[in-house]
Amino acid sequence: MDETWRKPLHIETMTKVQHVDSYYAASANHAPDYSELRGDRTADVCIIGAGLTGASCALELAARGYRVIVLEANRVGWGASGRSGGQMIFGYGCGEDVLEKLTGAADARKLWDMSLEAIELIRERVHQHDIACDLVQGQLHAALKPRQMRGLEAWRDTLESGYGYHGPQLWGRDKVRSLLATERYIGGLFDSNSGHLHPLNYTLGLVNAAHEAGAEFYESSRAVDISTGPRKTVTTEKGAVHCRYVVLGGNAYLGGLCAPIAARIMPVGTYIGATEPLGKERAQALIPGNIAVTDVDFVLDYFRMSADHRLLFGGRVSYSKVAPPNLPLALKRRMLNVFPQLRDVGMDYTWGGYVAITRNRAPDLGRLDDNIFYAQGFSGHGIALTGLAGKLIAEAVSGTAERFDVFTRIPHRNFPGGTLLRTPALVLAMFWYRLRDLL
């Protein structure tokens, strides 16, 4: 194994970090503060990152009797798990046709089936652990152009004939406009099995379930080094965890801890806002079915209602890691393209965060050696797939890796240009796709 990645990170003394100023943080369920790791601890498994991947893995392993310690550099749910659009969607960011080319038809079918399992896993956990996260069924991929509508129809046909999935319904203009008070879309593909939730509250609920099962969580405890050998030591600024297995679940927020896998993802800035409360009547008139919506432009818009009748609207991305200037105005302009009748409505919250994409938009799960596992690069499908990834890693640690290994057979390549040039190269590529959106 190449050990050049094992350069300990230098960090300053850390103070308690709060969640970003988001609607999710403002409406979060009560959660305890977890202490900083101080001194040495021993565990069977050390998980780095207390988002959905880490919490899911911790819950599964603790339930199996493993002693689990989870290290979080900031607060539990601080990263993408607590900031996202909150839409749980079937499938993968790359599409089933790409997976077939990458892995073959047999593995592509297994991956498809597991994507449905990922959605069902959310419902099971919400019910089993009584997680209050405003879970709602129903999600629409919306088309703006005839060519996009033809693409959705072909996708529906592929899911039915190739994968036996008959849930998605093709909606025409009239049906869409009966359930969305906008003239922007000409149709869409609706799936009642998909849906939306409050991502931070779901993450906090999963962390609490894992904690009750016996997993230990430590906040403000950034991992700065991982030793080699059959026994691992994960070092933080003020402590260390001695363990047999390590799980890297930081995804876009893992930072420079592990260069080989960091080169295979690109952290992309994505942004979302929450309006002031619209009131029940106005909210129901805007989206009568309370569904989540994602359009199918490459630089897409996505939106849904919150439980207290705010419109949560996401759009804009930054491949350069530079946030858009005047984010509230930028998001409101995009929102008004869809719902011009909201011109009088203010934005109470706007925030951003990073989502990790891979070159092929398929998730990247694997091993660095026999006892370091990682999961990253969910490419916009993280709400569901992160929970599944944590479960599969737990299975692999427990000695049953067949399902985990299906994901490891997806080939991945580094982004070209290294850390300095990969961002400008991607910005140029994304400019082409943005132009295509406009055609």
Question: pLDDT by residue for the chain (439 residues), tens digit each?
Answer: 344 344 444 333 445 789 999 999 999 999 999 999 999 999 999 999 999 999 999 999 999 999 999 999 999 999 999 999 999 999 999 999 999 999 999 999 999 999 999 999 999 999 999 999 999 999 999 999 999 999 999 999 999 999 999 999 999 999 999 999 999 999 999 999 999 999 999 999 999 999 999 999 999 999 999 998 889 999 999 999 999 999 999 999 998 899 999 999 999 999 999 999 999 999 999 999 999 999 999 889 999 999 999 999 998 788 766 777 899 999 999 999 999 999 999 999 999 999 999 999 999 999 998 899 999 999 999 999 999 999 999 999 999 999 999 999 999 999 986 555 555 545 544 443 444 444 4
* Domain at 94, CATH number: 3.50.50.60
pLDDT at position 369, please?
Answer: 87
Q: Is 296 helix (H, G, I), strand (E, B) or coil?
A: coil
Tokens of 326: 């005047």
**pTM across the whole model:** 0.92
Decide if 432 is inside a domain: no
Q: Residue 312 has what DSSP assignment?
A: E
Clarify whether residues 18 and 64 are in a common domain: yes
Specify the pLDDT at position 420.
53
Distance of alpha carbon 172 from alpha carbon 249, whole angstroms: 40
Sheet holding 39-42, edge to edge: 39-42, 239-243, 232-235, 225-226
Do residues 315 and 304 both lie within one domain? yes
Structural domain includes residue 311: yes
Identify whether 162 is part of a domain: yes
CATH classification at residue 311: 3.30.9.10
Is 427 contained in some domain? no
pLDDT of residue 347: 97
Q: Which domain holds residue 280?
A: 136-193+266-357
**188, β-bridge pairs:** 142, 171
- pLDDT for 431 equals 42
Radius of gyration of the chain (CA): 21
Helix, coil or strand: residue 355: strand
pLDDT of residue 15: 55
Q: Where are the alpha helices (DSSP H) in 23-145?
A: 23-26, 52-63, 96-103, 105-128
Task: Give CA–CA dist 418/422, Å, rounded.
Answer: 6
Instruction: State how far the Cα of 249 lies from the Cα of 254, in Å rounded to an integer.
Output: 7
In this structure, the answer to whether residues 44 and 182 fall within a common structural domain is no
Task: Give the 3-state secondary structure percentages of the chain, helix then strand then coil, rounded to 5.
Answer: 40, 25, 40
Q: Are residues 369 and 400 in the same domain?
A: yes
Between strands 372-376 and 245-248, the pairing is parallel
Residues 16 and 116 in one domain: yes
Cα separation, 76 vs 119, in Å, equals 22
Residue 94 sits in the same domain as residue 107: yes
Q: Give how many domains the chain has, as a whole number.
A: 2
